[in-house]
Amino acid sequence: MPEGRPSGCPDGRAVGENSVGQLLARVGVLVRPLAKNDPQQIGPFRIIGLLGGGGMGRVYLGRAADGRPVAVKTARSELADERGFRARFAREVSAAQQVGGPFVAPVVDAAPHDDVPWMATEYVPGVSLTDAVHDCGPLPEHAVRLLTAGLLHALTAVHAHGLVHRDLKPSNILLTAEGPRVIDFGIAHSAADTALTTTGTALGTPGFMAPEQLVMTGPKVTGAADVFALGGVIVYAATGGGPYGNADPQVLMYRTVHEEPRLDELADFLRELAAACLAKDPELRPALPALMARVGAPGPYGDWLPEPVAVQLRSLSAQLSDPRSPAMFAPRTPAEEPADVPYDRLPTRTTADGAPPPPSYDVPPPAGTPAPPQPATAPPGQYGPARATPSPDGYGPALATPPQERHGPAPSPGPHAVPSDWPPGQTASPGRPASPGPSRRRVLAALSVVGVGAGGGALAWVLQPDGGDGGSGKPSGGSKPGGNPSAIGTPSNRLPKEIRDKGIVTIGSDIAYEPMEFVRDGKPAGLDVDLANALGRELGLRVKFVNAVFDTLLTGLHANRFDLVMSAMTDTKDRQEGRTDGTKTGSGGVDLVDYFQSGLVLVVRKGNPEDIKAPRDLSGRKVAVQRGTFARDLLGQLNRQVPQKLKIREFDSPEDVYDDVAKGRSTACLDDFPVAAHTAATRAGGTTLELSGEQLEPLLYGVAVAKTNTALRDAVREALDRLIRNGEYAKILKKWHVEDGAVERAVVNEGS
């Protein structure tokens, strides 16, 4: 047992009544009542409780005018008078404002130059990793994986702005129902600046500080220091102790510089991961993209935490009347629902009534459209949106295991799935296809639609004769809601009054599926983004994208956080009826305005030298596929139906799949149509690949609209019809090399 490991819940899995009772008892002290000397109001926020305090100051729970909970961090008055303190506090505000994303607590307002400096961030009910491990012992391995995946994305967002957090540690990580959140940017600093010190003392937390932070004459502190700290967090979460034990700070600093970390109690995967992160030499630590490929994509976070921690979160959420905890997803009005945070959020200040404008990716309104009324905002000032130069891509060699990305589904988060369009502000390596992420789109729908059992409908295409339609999936029309061809008129006339008056449409999206929606140069890009912008022009609206985890998009739609969801979402009966795994979710269903079709497709070398036109032609051939994907499952079924078994060559990363075909080692590969088409057309080294045959088992992608919002649904459908008729829709598809995914007209709920 590591030094200082708590005795409760020793294996992190068994949960007794006593441990749950102890946690419930602690909920009451997580938010403590205010003392006589505590403020009742800070800036625009009413203070309702005390969350915690320390040597730097106090953190209060507050509420904005619209009821949104916030955490307000204040500085001690004596510190505020210290020379240079306000500049450092303003720098913390600036650092925190630059960084956004679902795994970072965003700043909603700040006043570093008030008599008592303060900063307010969005508050999500959560418990620190320190408290969670103290109360119940180490987290189970699957929870540590999900924790690490979220932290990697948070650090990616930090480093994309040229910042280094410098103090990633368990107490600065909140465990929430939606995943981990990184807090406290008190000593975050630009990677381009010299080491941040105070009177010659390095800032950070011994036990999690990198050796270069402790040795003043050592290498410059870069993002690699955060990777080292991440290794320490992994060890702590999995074992209950730090990588160098628990001892006096001086002892921990000595061990960090001169001794090896204590990793014996870690499971094999976590031990290898932590060891790589904790390398003494920063140049030998893996870069974030390599770690992300190793760990996998974040989520789903529905039940990721041990039960006693989940009990604590549910109780705290109920105490705050906040729905964002397990089994508490009742829709709320916009005034009640905390704002979502876009991936690359710009700094904002609150409006006059204390509510921040919804952070988003803005798209300019169409020419000639009057600018919608905007809430008054204060200028960003010295802690505004200026961005530093991005950090270098990496710090040293990748892990021994190659990057493991996936195009399709994974049964659970693991070491094989990650979208390659992260980190933000960076594009995929030239010639390398970007991964569209885990099982969020195609398979969540496909498994329920076509089935994967041997002899089931999923392989109806295998023995189709040449000349068949290959399951084109073209919309067939019918009496769907809003499914009639749109009438000639102005789509904007159909808009709900509140959206028309506001002049803005907010679109929720998981921006991690190239070429449909991904991040390029720090901004959303892709077919969905271009099409959304075109729809906005037709409707006379400005488009705002809000980034969110895919599995939470429809919940956010029903909670009025978004007006629409556009994220390569498959149109299925379950989604239309508000079902998950055939069971009602408690949220209403959605209407989907279908705009694209995507199935699996074969990719071969240019010229198709082996004349592969259909799956049956693969009999006895070598076929490349990404491990753990839906395409891999279908190839396994095909093996039971062809005369000679396929020689399936599995790879962990999509680039290896395409390389294998391009070099002639495999005859073909099977992949999602938009990924395959875009990769074949843009791959570095020339167009050495091409698609062959029809799309297999195509599914429709739709723009999701709440069932109750028929006016918005019909406006979107009519605007899409106009784009199809005037040719702009075709131009957008051609730009992304996916013309074969076109639909003939705009229809609603054509999925099955």
Q: Which CATH architecture has domain 491-597+700-748?
A: 3-Layer(aba) Sandwich (3.40)
Q: Which is the catalytic residue, given 109, 167, 563, 652? A: 167
Do residues 394 and 564 lie in contact, with contact meaning Cβ atoms separated by under 8 Å?
Answer: no
Of 276, 83, 85, 73, which Cα lies nearest the Cα of 184? Answer: 73
Distance CA 264, CA 531 (A): 52
CA gap 329, 337 in Å, rounded = 11
Residue 292 φ then ψ, to 5°: -65, -40
Query: For the whole prediction, is pTM greater than 0.75?
Result: no
Q: Please report, as a single letter, which amino acid is at residue 166.
A: R
**Is residue 167 annotated as part of the catalytic site, yes or no?**
yes
Bridge partners, 209 (sequence order): none
Length of the chain: 752
Tell me, what's the pLDDT at 353?
A: 30
Give CA–CA dist 527/735, Å, rounded: 8
The pLDDT value recorded for residue 95 is: 67
**Taking Cα atoms as reference points, which of 90, 82, 81 lies closest to residue 115?**
81
Burial of 503 (0-12, 13-18, 19+ CB in 10 A): middle
Which residue spans within 494-641 are E strands per DSSP? Answer: 504-509, 518-520, 523-525, 542-547, 564-565, 579-580, 583-584, 590-605, 622-626
Q: 622-626 and 668-672 as β-strands: parallel, antiparallel, unpaired?
A: parallel
Instruction: Kindly report the CATH class assigned to 17-26+127-194+204-308.
Output: mainly alpha
**pLDDT at residue number 377:** 33
For the chain, give every residue range classified as CATH 3.30.200.20.
31-123
Instruction: Evaluate whether 738 touches 597 at the Cβ level (below 8 Å).
Output: no
Name which of 231, 238, 241, 194 is nearest 216 in CA terms: 194
Q: What's residue 319's pLDDT?
A: 64
pLDDT, residue 399, reads 40
Are 402 and 322 a contacting pair, CB within 8 Å? no
Alpha helices (runs of H) in 540-629, residue ranges in sequence order: 553-558, 573-577
CATH assignment of 31-123, among 3.30.200.20, 3.30.50.10, 3.30.70.20, 3.20.20.10: 3.30.200.20
According to DSSP, the β-strands at 689-706 and 179-182 are: unpaired
42/33 Cα distance (integer angstroms)? 16
Distance set, CA 681 to CA 342, 366, 437, 656 (Å): 30, 31, 20, 17
3-state secondary structure 203-265: CCCCCCCCHHHHCCCCCCCCCHHHHHHHHHHHHHHHHCCCCCCCCCHHHHHHHHHHCCCCCCC
Q: 498: buried, middle or exposed (CB in 10 Å: 19+, 13-18, 0-12)?
A: exposed
Tokens 């006593």, located at residue: 18
Positions in the chain short of pLDDT 70: 1-30, 54-56, 78-84, 92, 95-96, 185-204, 216-219, 318-489, 580-587, 685-687
CATH 1.10.510.10 in the chain: give the residue spans.
17-26+127-194+204-308
Provide the sign of the torsion angle of the four alpha carbons 735, 738, 742, 747, taken in this order. Answer: negative
Contacts of 37 (CB under 8 A, 6+ apart): none
Closest CA to 709 of 532, 498, 510, 511: 498
SS3 284: helix
β 163-164/126-128 pair status: unpaired
Q: Which amino acid is at 315?
A: S
Q: Which of 486, 496, 476, 443 is nearest to 705 (CA)?
A: 496
According to DSSP, the β-strands at 542-547 and 504-509 are parallel
* Cα–Cα dist 434/675, whole Å: 8
How would you classify the pairing of strands 583-584 and 579-580?
antiparallel
Which pLDDT belongs to residue 251? Answer: 87
Start-end of CATH 3.40.190.10 domains in the chain: 491-597+700-748
Tokens 């180490």 belong to residue = 138
Identify the pLDDT of residue 3: 37
Work out whether strand 163-164 and strand 189-190 pair parallel, antiparallel, or are unpaired. Answer: antiparallel
Q: Looking at residue 30, what DSSP letter applies?
A: H
Task: Write the DSSP symbol of residue 517.
Answer: B
Instruction: Give 455-458 contacts, CB < 8 A, sequence gap 24+.
Output: 458/634, 458/637, 458/697
